[in-house]
Amino acid sequence: MWFLEKWMESPKTVKKLVYVLYASLIVSCLLGFVIHFAPPAEHAAPADHGEHAEHVPFVFEQIPIFSAIFGFIVCALLGLGSKAYGHNVVMKEEDYYDK
Amino acid sequence: MTSEIMTVPPAAIFIVGALLIPLFKGKLRQAYMLLIAVAAILDVYFMPDGVYWLHPFMQYELVLGRVDLLSKCFGYVFTIAALAMTFYALRVKEAGEHIAAFLYIGSALGVVFAGDLITVFVFWEVMAWASVALVWYRRTKASIDAGFRYLMVHVVGGVLLLGGIILYMQEPSGLVDGSLLVNGSLAKVVPFTIDAFDYASPATILILIGFIINAAVPPLHAWLPDAYPEATITGAVFMTAFTTKTAVYVLARGFAGFTIDGFAILMWLGAIMAIYGVVYAIIENNIRRLLAYHIVSQVGYMVCGIGIAASAASVTGAGVISQTAIDGTAAHAFCHILYKGLLFMSAGAIIYMTGKSKLTELGGLYKVMPLTMIFYMIAAFSISGVPLFNGFTSKSIIIHAAEMAGNAPIFLMLECAAVGTFLSVGLKLPYFAFFGKDAGIKAKDPPTNMLIGMGIAAFLCILLGVYPSLLYNILPYPGAIADYVPYSASHVIGSLQLLLFTYAGFLVLKKKLQPENTISLDTDWFYRKGAVLFMWVVNNPLARGTQWTIDATLAVKDFAVWFSKNPVEALGIITDKVCLRVLRSSEGATAGEESAEKVLATRIQGYPGEPVRRDPIGVSVLLGTIFLFAYLVIYVVALHLSVYSMIGLLVVAVLAGIGVRVREMMRGVEG
């Protein structure tokens, strides 16, 4: 696996990967807009499912990049919140129960 | 056609198979164990639907075979996972550990195919006792302690379950004629049917608590992250699959309509649980404990799915929503067993090969354990719900059911947990274990058998991600999700956005999320510290209390013995002691003290002396006088006095006596 190692460890690759990430962030958001404004092909299916409940998305799901915003904010809140909770309440040194 | 083939209870294959393991050695034993696992898969496949395998027990009938789509779905994944995990565990030398694992798998299958509650309870207990052996075989002090805590929690859970079952038997639906299930059965059955417990009563609540202890629902979950990381490498892999998932199964079977006055408690417990596990996973340092908290989180999805089914019971179109939610729960349990098993296999491989289990000690492992890294990432992508992996196709059904039920808070809570899952399992753990700062660990990929086990699980994770219909066809209500398309454009893009931006968030917060060398307190604190307090109470106040009664009794006895040797002299000594104390406490009256002390010392030393006085006449005159005086008081004076004034007189007399004696002492007494 030396080739993978060599490739992964070079700063150039890391830089490239970061660009790939940026690009995919942007592309995913753009795709969100595309399917939001595209004609709803799947919803054209006849609504004759009888008792089947109609799939009604929530209001916030109408925002094309809702998942992106939600993901980022929740990631930050969970990450920082958990660490804050840990540091202030539950995180103890490893021999806590042995004392 | 399938009914032509003779099948036996799959539980029996593993349990009987377990007992024969010691007869084989080496390669033969390995082949034998794999054979058992394969036989069990085929057996489940060929089992016809229906209720059969009744067995009389006391005046009841045990139902060992209740086969329908729900039980078969769990039966499939249990046996398939058993095969992959048996591969992983092949190299374990200890026959006992294999026996424990097989008994554990067998009893889990026994619960799944049980048609009555007594059978459920029996297998439930076997499961607890067999699995604790998997913890103890690690043979460290930490694992023995954790095993005892694990066992105590499960024994309590089992007792609650039994109590619930016994109460349930008093209810009208709790004890029915066996002939209702199978023609010709004469005995009574305690049935365990679909939605048996859709109302709150002491019986159903006790049964529910028994079940949710095994499902690791907070605050009753702490046994799981406490014990699993202390189990053996292979034992932990088995444990991830069966205990919590049998609990999910029994909840899905019995409690899919359970509400307390219309409040679907399981839905909220599940959603809270999903986030709770994630929060602890983010601050955890031990890799297996981190993954254990993700069992809590993922089982949260399943419990939530069962709750959604219950909550939808009163909404229009409820049938479909409930059925979709139960389908989602079963599908997610199926996928979860595969990817969580694989996660624990990878983490186990790391610990097995490097001897380290803390993120703070790991790093850069992708160079030396590339295959482990790949398998781990497949599982991590699966649990995170990355498209083309199985978590994407199963988790989304539960979230879809929340959407159908129009329940925005639950929907958002589950999405939150999804973000946290990717953050800790998909990003944090691999970053700090496989990439990140190179810890310079010398290791290599684990042995072939372990890789095969991991390969089977990884293959299935991808297979069910790419062809979800394979899974959807064996769900309990295939009709309900016939129209469900996991790979819709909006769902795929939404998921990608969620995951990519979580990744972006992780890169921003990487420094803050650095693992730390700590442990995190959880609800086990209450019984771990509670036990310390309990032992202190036993060792101190309680022990002293018992000792005090013994001491007091002995003192009374000693005094009585001493006193009876010469009562008159003893009384005199006591009086002198009191008088001497009075004398000392009065200032300036120290004249006779010294001589009085001397006299007292000689009296004590001479005690008991000559019990019978040499001047008998004097004594008898004294006694006569005392008795005559007593007669006088009792028959003449006392008639005119109340009790209090009698006591008062007595006190005055005693004080007067002491006063006289003190005066004597001040003047100086001789013996």
ipTM for the complex?
0.87
- What pLDDT is recorded for position A49? 45
Looking at the DSSP bridge assignments, the partners of residue A38 are: none
Residue B421 φ/ψ, nearest 5 degrees: -65, -50
Identity of the residue in A57, A74, A80 whose CB atom sits nearest the CB atom of B512: A80
CA distance B519 to A86: 9
Q: Would you tell me which residues 64-93 of chain A have a C-beta closer than 8 angstroms to some C-beta of chain B?
A: 65-72, 74-76, 78-83, 85-86, 89-93
Q: Would you tell me which residues 17-46 of chain A have a C-beta closer than 8 angstroms to some C-beta of chain B?
A: 21, 24-25, 28-29, 31-32, 35, 42
- What pLDDT is recorded for position B1? 42
pTM greater than 0.95? no
- Tell me, yes or no, if B59 comes closer than 8 A to chain A by beta carbon: no
- What pLDDT is recorded for position B35? 96
Mutate which: A4, A78, A98, A99, vs B, most B CBs within 10 A: A78
Say if residue B174's pLDDT is above 90. no
What's chain A's average pLDDT?
80
- The arithmetic mean of pLDDT across residues A31-43, rounded, is 74
- The arithmetic mean of pLDDT across residues B181-189, rounded, is 76
pLDDT-derived band of residue A56, with 50, 70 and 90 as boundaries?
A: low
pLDDT-derived band of residue A52, with 50, 70 and 90 as boundaries?
A: very low
Mutate which: B145, B419, B512, vs A, most A CBs within 10 A: B419
Say if residue A47's pLDDT is above 60. no
- Which residues in chain A have their CB less than 8 angstroms from residue B406's CB? 56, 58
- What pLDDT is recorded for position B551? 94
- The arithmetic mean of pLDDT across residues B303-327, rounded, is 86
Say if residue B39's pLDDT is above 50. yes
CA distance B104 to B613: 84
Residue B666 is encoded by which pair of tokens?
Answer: 């001040």
pLDDT-derived band of residue B205, with 50, 70 and 90 as boundaries?
A: very high
Smallest CA–CA distance from B370 into chain A, residue: A1
- What pLDDT is recorded for position B57? 86
Least confident of A45-59, B448-462, B480-494, B573-587: A45-59
User: CB distance A32–B508 less than 8 Å?
Assistant: no
Say if residue B374's pLDDT is above 90. yes
CB of B230 within 8 A of CB of B137?
no
CA distance B372 to B343: 10
User: CB distance A92–B521 less than 8 Å?
Assistant: yes
Identity of the residue in A67, A74, A90 whose CB atom sits nearest the CB atom of B520: A90
Q: Would you tell me which residues 450-489 of chain B have a C-beta closer than 8 angstroms to some C-beta of chain A?
A: 483, 485, 488-489
- What pLDDT is recorded for position A51? 45
Say if residue B75's pLDDT is above 90. yes
Q: Is the peptide bond before B229 cis (omega within 30 degrees of 0)?
A: no
pLDDT-derived band of residue B665, with 50, 70 and 90 as boundaries?
A: confident
Say if residue B325's pLDDT is above 60. yes
CA distance B425 to B339: 11
CA distance B219 to B269: 10
CA distance B128 to B114: 17
User: CB distance A71–B508 less than 8 Å?
Assistant: no
Q: Could you read off the pLDDT of B279-294 as tens digits, one per residue?
A: 999 999 999 999 999 9
- What pLDDT is recorded for position A46? 45
CB of B350 within 8 A of CB of B287?
yes
Smallest CA–CA distance from A29 into chain B, residue: B497
Q: Could you read off the pLDDT of B345-360 as tens digits, one per residue?
A: 999 999 999 999 999 9
- Which residues in chain A have their CB less than 8 angstroms from residue B513's CB? 79, 83
Identity of the residue in A61, A75, A83 whose CB atom sits nearest the CB atom of B502: A75
Print the SS3 string covering B372-410.
HHHHHHHHHHHHHCCCCCHHHHHHHHHHHHHHHCCCHHH
Residue B425 to residues B30, B343, B381, B636: CA-CA distances in angstroms?
Answer: 32, 9, 9, 97
CB of B357 within 8 A of CB of B287?
yes
What's chain B's average pLDDT?
90
User: CB distance B504–A85 less than 8 Å?
Assistant: no
Q: Would you tell me which residues 509-528 of chain B have a C-beta closer than 8 angstroms to some C-beta of chain A?
A: 509, 512-513, 516-522, 528
- What pLDDT is recorded for position B591? 63
User: CB distance B518–A91 less than 8 Å?
Assistant: yes
Say if residue B161's pLDDT is above 70. yes
Mutate which: A22, A24, A52, vs B, most B CBs within 10 A: A52
Mutate which: A70, A87, A94, vs B, most B CBs within 10 A: A70
Say if residue B566's pLDDT is above 90. no
* B28 CB-contact burial (10 Å; exposed 0-12 / middle 13-18 / buried 19+): exposed
- What pLDDT is recorded for position B354? 93
pLDDT-derived band of residue A50, with 50, 70 and 90 as boundaries?
A: very low
3-state secondary structure of B54: strand
Residue B165 is encoded by which pair of tokens?
Answer: 């079952």
- The arithmetic mean of pLDDT across residues B166-186, rounded, is 82
